[in-house]
Amino acid sequence: MPIHPDRLRRLDDMARRGIDPYPPRCRRTRRISALKEGEPAIIAGKLNAPTAESGVLFDGSGSVEVSFDPNLGGDLSALLFAESGDWIEAEGTLKGDRFTARACWVLAKSLGPPPDFDRFSVGSGRRRKNLEIRARTLTAVRRFFENRGFLEVETPLLVTAAGQEPHLIPFETEYRDTSHRLRRYLTTSPEYAMKRLLAAGFERIYQVCKSFRDGDGERGPQHNPEFTILEWYRAFASYEDIAQDTEQMVSAVAQDVLGTARIRYRDQPVDLAPPWERVTVRDAVRRHARIDLAAHPDAPSLCRNARENGFSTVAPDDAWDVAFFKIFLDGVEPCLGRGRPTLLMDFPASMAALARRRADTPDLAERFEVYIAGVELANAFSELNDPREQRARFLAEQAVRRAHGGTPPPLDDRFLGAMEAGIPPAGGIALGVDRLVMLLTDAEDIREVMAFPFDEI
């Protein structure tokens, strides 16, 4: 955006008078929210709608109307150059709801409209409040895990191998020096690296980090190509243990941040206090979609029954998993987590990903997802630790990606090597931090809880 010539002229006027438009020091003694009536103070902030007599000053804690009084004998010469958007400091006293200034100085001359200030200013409403709740949420998450003996870890965002699941499309980049050109990926999840730490003997670990996913479906009210993920893993635990962790953590965070475990999301009251509803995938589909998955183990049968039950998006020749997801997204997911969260347990084994199969029911996986007011919040497993089965699954997923015209990322040999060396039985989960903040702030769109979503970077 071009700089307005009037602002440049004022900048030149300041220079001719020997006034530094960007002085190196600020003498602020109080934030605006900490002002006390009758006590002298120096405040600083961004100026809005200034006149020779008044203006509104914003800082990170609040705003106040400032009256400039030339009869107090101070230096108000900065008002000759002050414009909306300038950062200034003012010396004076709070009287009632106004700050009466005897002097003011320019701290930083604005040469154009601020690109972001209005979105984040105290007076602009929800975005700033949501970001403050986001910060408190992250603090509460860390407090929860530290109090339970978990170690916070960091793993690389730039990796040699990304997630193998065919629906995941990683961002690719390249490392270059004088002798190398190496393909790298932005991680779709820290899962592989964190499991290497399990193999190295770390028993309770968690991580809050950025992850990245490309492709169709990764931009929308609940999706951003760059997002924040919380993952934790417990050695010698199962998905049942992780389910209890999740109930306790989400409830504790809400209590810490909001002062209550009862929230309201999209006009739906939800009580986050444990215990949460537990329902199997089969029972949920039978209850909400009127389809018995066990009675339709093959694709033609499931497709036919789905269409008979009104699921018109299901095509007669859809694969079983494709038909399942269409049924689930249209007829089941919106019904989950109403009144209290739902733990959706025991997915079909074809959707096991990195989860182990149930020993008593091998056609099911020890996997659950968390739903709150129809929003998918988390995905958890009893972790597969058989290296042969894991390698076979990866190769099968690569074949599916190739069959659909894609190029799979390479296998993560270090992760598979860790599995071959031995990973203890464990449970783990990936939880969407942005979606958790959406729930706590009653935000309709993920962009409302991010400082810089994808379309604003």
- Residue 376 CB: number of other CB atoms within 10 A? 17
The values of phi and psi at residue 306, to 5°, are -65, -45
What distance in Å separates the CA atoms of residue 453 and residue 457, rounded to the nearest whole number?
7
Whether residue 321 is contained in a domain is answered as: no
Helix-, strand-, coil-residue percentages of the chain, each rounded to 5: 35, 30, 35
Q: Which of 167, 227, 246, 189 is nearest to 427 (CA)?
A: 246
Half-sphere exposure of 196 (CA within 13 A, CB side): 13
Whether residue 318 is contained in a domain is answered as: no
Do 22 and 101 reside in the same domain of the chain? yes
Q: What is the CATH number of the domain that holds 20?
A: 2.40.50.140
State residue 3's pLDDT score.
Answer: 77
Domain count, the chain: 2
Range of the domain at 12: 5-116
- 139 Cβ contact list (under 8 Å, min separation 6): none
Whether residue 75 is contained in a domain is answered as: yes
Among residues 70, 95, 116, the one where a domain terminates is 116
Whether residue 91 is contained in a domain is answered as: yes
What is the per-residue DSSP string for 13-65?
A: HHHHTT--SS-S-------GGG--BT-EEEEEEEEES--SSEEEEEETTEEEE
Do 79 and 146 reside in the same domain of the chain? no
Do 50 and 152 reside in the same domain of the chain? no
Confirm if 356 and 347 have CB atoms less than 8 A apart: no
In this structure, what DSSP letter does residue 331 have? I
Do 81 and 129 reside in the same domain of the chain? no
Do 112 and 129 reside in the same domain of the chain? no
State residue 115's pLDDT score.
Answer: 66
Determine the 3-state secondary structure of 375 from DSSP. Answer: strand
Per-residue pLDDT of the chain (457 residues; tens, 9 = 90+): 567 788 888 888 998 998 899 999 999 999 999 999 999 999 999 998 888 899 999 998 889 999 999 999 899 988 888 888 899 999 999 999 999 999 999 999 998 876 666 667 655 568 889 999 999 999 999 999 999 999 999 999 999 998 888 888 999 999 998 888 999 999 999 999 999 999 999 999 999 999 999 988 889 999 999 999 999 999 999 999 999 999 999 999 999 999 999 999 999 999 999 999 999 999 999 999 999 999 999 999 999 999 999 999 999 999 999 999 999 999 999 999 999 999 999 999 999 889 999 999 999 999 999 999 999 999 999 999 999 999 999 999 999 889 988 888 899 999 999 999 999 999 999 999 999 999 999 999 999 999 999 988 8
Whether residue 296 is contained in a domain is answered as: no
State which H helix or E strand residue 327 sits in.
helix 320-327
User: In this structure, which amino acid lies at residue 66?
Assistant: V
Determine the 3-state secondary structure of 178 from DSSP. Answer: coil
Do 109 and 169 reside in the same domain of the chain? no
Determine the 3-state secondary structure of 195 from DSSP. Answer: helix
- Residue 85 CB: number of other CB atoms within 10 A? 19
Do 270 and 403 reside in the same domain of the chain? yes
Among residues 89, 116, 143, the one where a domain terminates is 116
Q: Which of 319, 53, 392 is nearest to 167 (CA)?
A: 319
Here the tokens at position 243 are: 């389910």
State residue 405's pLDDT score.
Answer: 86
State which H helix or E strand residue 376 sits in.
strand 375-382
Beta strands in 177-321 (DSSP E): 181-186, 204-212, 226-235, 262-265, 268-271, 277-280
- 230 Cβ contact list (under 8 Å, min separation 6): 141, 206, 207, 208, 430, 431, 432, 433, 436
What distance in Å separates the CA atoms of residue 233 and residue 195, rounded to the nearest whole number?
8
Beta strands in 49-186 (DSSP E): 54-59, 62-68, 87-95, 98-108, 151-152, 158-159, 172-176, 181-186
Whether residue 314 is contained in a domain is answered as: no
pTM of the complete model: 0.91
What distance in Å separates the CA atoms of residue 5 and residue 316, rounded to the nearest whole number?
65
User: In this structure, which amino acid lies at residue 235?
Assistant: A
What distance in Å separates the CA atoms of residue 252 and residue 255, rounded to the nearest whole number?
5
Do 96 and 205 reside in the same domain of the chain? no
Q: Which of 379, 364, 377 is nearest to 281 (CA)?
A: 364
Q: What is the CATH number of the domain that holds 366?
A: 3.30.930.10
Exposure string for 31-65, b = 16+ CB within 10 A, e = fewer = ebeebeeeeebbbbbbbbebeeebbbbbbeebbbe
State residue 52's pLDDT score.
Answer: 82
Do 258 and 396 reside in the same domain of the chain? yes
State residue 255's pLDDT score.
Answer: 98
Question: Distances in Å between the alpha carbon of 206 and those of 136, 160, 164, 221?
Answer: 18, 22, 22, 27
Do 111 and 132 reside in the same domain of the chain? no
Determine the 3-state secondary structure of 352 from DSSP. Answer: coil
Do 89 and 203 reside in the same domain of the chain? no
Among residues 82, 116, 150, the one where a domain terminates is 116
